Amino acid sequence: MTSAMAPVMTPYFPEHGDRRYGVSHYDLTLDYRVPANRLAGTARLTVSAAEPLGVLDLDLGKFRVSGVTVDGVPARYVHGQGKLRVTLPRSLPAGGQAGVEVRYSGNPLPVPSPWGGLGWEELTDGALVAGQPIGAPSWFPCNDRPGDKASYRISVTTASPYQVIANGVLVTRRRSAGSTTWIYDQPEPMASYLASVQIGRYRLAEVAGIEVAHPARLATRVRHDFGRQGEMMELFTDLFGAYPFTGYTVVVADDDLDIPVEAQGMSIFGRNHVDGARGFERLVAHELAHQWFGNSLTVACWRDIWLQEGFATYAEWLWSEASGGPSAGDHVERWHRRLALLPQDFVLADPGPAALFDDRVYKRGALTLHALRRAVGDQAFFPALRAWTAEHRHGSVTTAQFAGHVQRHTSRPIGPLLSAWLYGKPMPRPAAPPDH
């Protein structure tokens, strides 16, 4: 891709995140009281300066901050309008590191957005986190941009009747006087919006080799509706490469949710997505595919979100074909007809923040991948995908990187095709299969 095709653009959420520094590790110690929706936290961040830094701006919602230290030294701070501004006791040179500790408490409130409240959400009996794209500051101080990935340790103490699920591997569970502390370790780098905590009265079960946390009364439906995840995992491992994380957990909340949500190593569904008839199985496939496309390979900038949602949607179509449903080609024909009826005013690789979750991001993104597959053939397309996930495992990616990557895996010039699908407004016609 040339620079003319992919010009430098301003961030979609300029009020979130700061490129002047990065965070390599978050250590979160949380205490949550379910009936009061009360969260008390201590967050320890390992910060690295990308340039000389005298002030640190963290994203944090409406909490009471009771203290901040930097390398153990108390620091001055100002908190408001979603920002915690910390004056460093000593300026950091470019490349310098510091340990920042923030103590805070309050009632976590979702971050307002065009898509409703994002982040920490109080349930009927518990809580969940759905952070995409800017909800992470609803529960911890962070550098809230997708390209800044870090390892995490998440400790949550809450009343013992509740199960706590967070990213990574459960390393410790301690009970004391009616409460339980759950400690999870997430060593693989993770974007702040993918950090997640789920709290509820869940039963844990293994379904098709995958852990599922669900309300006890939904056990039969859950076993049926998620019963083919093992086959999905086999298919996606074959097509996309090795599963990128230590484990995978599905959580079925005991509330209705508008849509399922992905987190790193985890997917969250509402009870309304479990009908006992696999009526939402395409979404089961979609969320699993995000472990490769979105969670391991995370967009560096939100304008490239098609690299996550288009890939996960195409994975739905691949699963449909492999499991005896309509073929990927059938889905392509149906969705091409439907999108062709819409106004042709949409740029896939720069949809704008208001259209970040527009259905065209998902469906035109999948159509783009199928057009690319038809143009280069399966013998180039799927090896290129496996190499893409392997080479950028646990990293950040851009559209330009993807275009250059695929071009290296085929002798056919793909620049004009990708330019038309990604940066042209009129939707191209479906591609013909390659000549053999």
Binding residues for Zn(2+): 286, 290, 309
How buried is residue 137: exposed, middle or buried, by Cβ count under 10 Å (0-12/13-18/19+)?
buried
What length is written for the chain? Answer: 436
Q: Which residue has the tokens 């591609």?
A: 431
Q: Cβ(119)–Cβ(108) under 8 Å?
A: yes
Q: Cβ(51)–Cβ(109) under 8 Å?
A: no
Q: Cβ(363)–Cβ(313) under 8 Å?
A: yes
Query: β-pairing, 119-123 with 126-130?
Result: antiparallel
Q: Cβ(263)–Cβ(128) under 8 Å?
A: no
Q: Cβ(291)–Cβ(246) under 8 Å?
A: no
Q: Cβ(218)–Cβ(270) under 8 Å?
A: no
Q: Cβ(317)–Cβ(148) under 8 Å?
A: no
DSSP code string of 284-325? HHHHHHTTTBTTTBEESSGGGTHHHHHHHHHHHHHHHHHTTS
Q: Cβ(178)–Cβ(166) under 8 Å?
A: no
Measured distance CA(180)–CA(206) in Å, rounded: 22
User: What is the three-class DSSP state of 5?
Assistant: coil
User: What is the three-class DSSP state of 421?
Assistant: helix
Q: Cβ(192)–Cβ(148) under 8 Å?
A: yes
CA angle 12, 18, 22 (to 5 degrees): 125
DSSP code string of 150-203? EEEEEEEEEETTSEEEESSEEEEEEEETTEEEEEEEEEEEE-GGG--EEEESPE
Measured distance CA(365)–CA(311) in Å, rounded: 7
> So which residues are the catalytic ones?
287, 362
Cite the annotated binding site by residue number: 286, 290, 309
- For the record, the structure tokens of 44 come out as 């320890």
